[in-house]
Amino acid sequence: MTYCCAIKVDDGLVFAGDTRTSAGVDDVRTYNKLHVFERPGHHVFVVLSAGNLATTQWIVNALRRDNDNPDAPQSLSMIRHMYDAADYVGGLSVRAQRESAQTAGQTATNVDFRTTLILGGQVVGEEPALYLIYPEGNCISASPETPYLQIGENKYGKPILDRIIRTHISLEEAARCALVSLDSTMKSNLTVGPPLDLAIVPRDALRITHKLRLDLDTPYYAALKKSWGENLERIFREQLPKFDWEPDPAQQQML
């Protein structure tokens, strides 16, 4: 399984995702689900993926191949508008699913070749943007009312995003929130797991300024995970209002 999220705030974009692709008792595998395509000063695109791994690899390889081919009819390097990039990637996704199914033929009748993608970034002269690209190739964009997008196992990590993410918060706050969202998901679902990938794209930087890979023993992630868990428990025990019939801790101490 997979969990990835992307956040759009006034100051730019944040992307985060896990790397686990299988989680059997004795078979745990990882694969990069955060893919970067950038030409500093001109454009930066980040693709997050969830779904069939072979389809995802087909799409990513096609994007890189087109970028390296000056005779390609279309490529990310030619894109002048973010929506055109989403439309292009969506078309590649549909083609990848169709060709993968045709190649597998009748031997893979129960195989799901679908993949869902998040495409985000900025092209010079345009605003940063985020798009959720469905397996059918169509897409929706993030908005001020919904400034984040999720793919994969999203239900466990959604509450913290709903409570915290607003367009005015800083990129660093958005990045911490994304990591807490991933940590909450890993706490409840074994199929989402480390290492975690994090990328930050400030508005008008037209490049990734910070890209991190965080494992369970990475000092920053270990400290964040510990602090979040301890403070959540402290607030639950000490700061939530008590029922009328519960004894007052202050009075108990006086006795």
The answer to whether residue 181 scores a pLDDT higher than 80 is: yes
> What mean pLDDT do residues 31-56 have?
93
- pLDDT band at residue 255 under the 50/70/90 scheme: low
Report pLDDT for 25: 45
Answer whether residue 252 is part of any domain: no
Answer whether residue 250 is part of any domain: no
Split into its structural domains, the chain has a count of 1
The answer to whether residue 252 scores a pLDDT higher than 70 is: no
> What mean pLDDT do residues 25-49 have?
84
What are the tokens at 162? Answer: 């709903």
How far is 255 from 138, CA to CA, in rounded Å? 66
- Domain ranges, residue 9: 3-241
What is the pTM assigned to this prediction? 0.91
> What mean pLDDT do residues 53-81 have?
92
| CATH number of domain containing 76 | 3.60.20.10
φ/ψ (deg, to 5) at 7: -130, 135
How far is 135 from 211, CA to CA, in rounded Å? 27
How far is 181 from 50, CA to CA, in rounded Å? 16
Answer whether residue 254 is part of any domain: no
Answer whether residue 223 is part of any domain: yes
Report CA Rg, the chain: 21
> What mean pLDDT do residues 9-23 have?
89
How far is 117 from 99, CA to CA, in rounded Å? 18
Answer whether residue 255 is part of any domain: no
